[in-house]
Amino acid sequence: MHREPSRMKRVARAGGLLLALGLSGCMNDLGRDGTADVFIRIIDINGGAPYFSFVGDPLEGTLGPDIAPVTVVARSKNPAQTAEHYPRALLLDRYEIRYYRSDGRNVEGVDVPFRISGDMATTVEIAEAGETITIEMEIVRSQAKLEPPLRNLRDGGGNMVLTVFAEVTIYARTIASNDVTKAVARMQINFSGDLTQLPR
Pairing of strands 38-45, 66-76: antiparallel
Q: What is the pLDDT of residues 47-78, one digit of tens each?
A: 999 999 998 876 666 688 999 999 999 888 77
135, containing H or E segment:
strand 133-140
Contacts for 77 with CB less than 8 Å, ≥ 6 apart: 30, 31, 36, 37, 38, 39
For the segment 153-182, the average pLDDT, to the nearest whole number, is 86
Q: For the domain bounded by 32-197, which CATH number is listed?
A: 2.60.40
- Count of other CB atoms within 10 angstroms of residue 92: 23
pTM (2 d.p.): 0.76
